[in-house]
Structures are given as C-alpha cells and as structure tokens.
Amino acid sequence: MLDMEIALLPAVLFAAYQFGMDAIKVMIASVLASVLTEWIYEVCLKKKARIANGTAVVTGLLLGLTLPAGVNLYVPIVGGIFATLVVVLLYGGYGQHFMVPALVSRCFLLISFSSQMTTYTVDGISSATPLAVLQQGGTPDLMDMLIGTTNGCIGEVSAIAILIGLAYLLIRRAAKWITPLVYVIVFVGYLGLFGGHGFDMNYIGAQVLGGGFLFAVAFFASDLVINPKTALGQVIYGVLLGLLTGLYRTLGTTTESVSYAVICCNLLIPLIDKFLPGKEKEAA
C-alpha cells in the first residue's frame, strides 16, 4: 500500500497544482470517509484494527482522483463510505473484494449525482474535457493532455504524472504488467480498425490520453489483487478490457467508458481463473 501511495503522489501533486484547493478538499474528504468507515466498522464488530496498513487511504485517494474538482464535499464522503463499506468490508475485507472499490463507487456516484459528476471546472469555470471536444468534432491538444493543462477528473489530466506512477509500481514489482500492456495494445488496435478514423495518431492519442484511460491502465488494470492468477488469464483480461473500452468509446454516448469496462470485466475474473488450466504457473 505504501508503494501505491507513493505512485499516486505525482498525480496528487499535479492535481493540487492544476485544480487548487478544490481538488485537495475532495481528496481529503474521500480519504477521511474511507478511513473512518473502516475504523467505525472494526470498532463496532470488535475486529482487529487494520487502518495502519493503508488500504483505506489508497481506496480514498483512488476515488478522490477519479472525481471532478468541483463536486460538493458530500459526494466524495458518500463515495468513500460506499467504496469501503459496501464494496470491501461487507465482502470480507481488503483482499476479498472482487471489483475495484473506487470505480464501483464512482459508477454509484455517477448514477446518484450525475449532474455534479459530469461538470468539470478549473478555477470555478466550467469547460469541456478533451474527449467531449473530440466527440463534438474538435481536436484536443495532445501536448496539453500529456502535461495536464486540460479539464477533467482530478487525477486523469496529466499523462506524465500517471506514467511516472506506473513506472514506479513496475520497478517495485507492486503491479502486474501483462494486463496493462495488452489493454493498451488491444484498445489502440480496436480504435485503428473500428474507430472510423483509421490509425490517425491525433484521434488515437486523444483517446489514450483522455477519459481516464491511462489512469485505469496504471492503477486499476495493474492491481495485484484484482487480476487473474495466470499469465494467460491476464492476457485474456487485457483483451476484454481493450475491446469493451473500445466498444463503449465508439458506440456509446458517454465518456465514462473506462469505469464501466473495468468493473464489467472484474466480474469475469473468477470465470477466467476457473476455466483456465490450473497447472499454469501463476504470473508475477
């Protein structure tokens, strides 16, 4: 968990720079809600306290980074409680959950507070995200998306910050590498073949750099707990993620394709593990 917290630090720092106190308040509210929910649950059920392991902090940070900076603070608070209590603790605790808590909570918040969850502001001024610009026929600036001087969710705007975090996790062997790699390859291939723009690098680049795709690749698809046990299983998981994200992006009307694709594919991991040959060596 410490490695994950360190890996998220570049995105957290850039979010604070780009969105200011609004982002900081959202992240703090989300983390506090997750940590306090776990603590209260353990006290009420007289369980051994596990707050020190940092899992609730990571859940809160991941959730906060997937939210717009301008949401009212009750949104990350509700989201932190839902992610920790409903998705994790009621299923046996961390390590027993079968879906990414932050993304499940994000989808819950999208349904519950749709207006706030789809309004993006910088310095109090609302503006379109790069993917919204792309859907409207415009051309986002790829360099702005790479650096992060665009609008969007708190943690998704800077591709550089996200890639630094992923590199750290891979160096520390705190993340799977097969699923993220296959996810990117299949997604790019799908867009090139079926996206309607061929292999136009501006179009594909905007799709890869926008909409939280890289954030999901770095911190959700690479998750050590929520990943198939075998290398073959991780390849299949990555293929499914790439295809489903591509389908949502090209055929859907929402820019929230990554969230829905990841949690849908999470549900298939037990089946992947069940039907693959049991003698295959577990992937590192």
> Residue 284 has what pLDDT?
47
Q: What is the pLDDT of residues 91-127, one digit of tens each?
A: 777 767 778 899 999 999 999 998 888 888 766 556 6
pLDDT at 255 over 90: no
Q: Indicate the helix (H) or strand (E) that contains 121.
A: strand 121-122
Task: Please calculate the CA angle 105-161-32 and round it to the nearest 5 degrees.
Answer: 40
* Residue 49 pLDDT: 65
- 254 or 162: which carries more pLDDT confidence? 162
* 172, two tokens: 């520390």
Determine the pLDDT at residue 82: 95
- Looking at the domain 2-275, which fold is it? Ammonium transporter fold (1.10.3430)
User: What is the distance between the alpha carbons of residues 61 and 7, in angstroms, rounded to a whole number?
Assistant: 11
Residue 136 has pLDDT above 80, yes or no: no
Q: Where are the domains of the chain?
A: 2-275
Q: What percentage of the chain has pLDDT greater than the value 70?
A: 92
CA 134/CA 219 separation, integer angstroms: 25
Mean pLDDT of all residues in 247-251: 90
pLDDT for the residue 118: 83
pLDDT tens, residue by residue, 66-97:
999 989 999 999 999 999 999 988 877 776 77
pLDDT at 219 over 90: yes
Q: Would you say 65 and 232 are in contact if contact means Cβ atoms under 8 Å apart?
A: no
Residue range 4-61, pLDDT digits in tens: 999 999 999 999 999 999 999 999 999 999 999 999 988 888 877 676 678 899 999 9
Give dist(CA 278, CA 123) in Å, integer.
Answer: 53
Question: What pTM was computed for the model?
Answer: 0.89
Contact by Cβ (8 Å): 10, 164: yes
Give which of 184, 192, 270 is closest to 227, Cα–Cα.
Answer: 270
For 2, 4, 30, 41, 57, the CA distances from 52, given in Å and listed in that order, are 11, 14, 17, 15, 9
Q: What residue has token string 């073959």? A: 232
Note the maximum CA span of the chain: 58
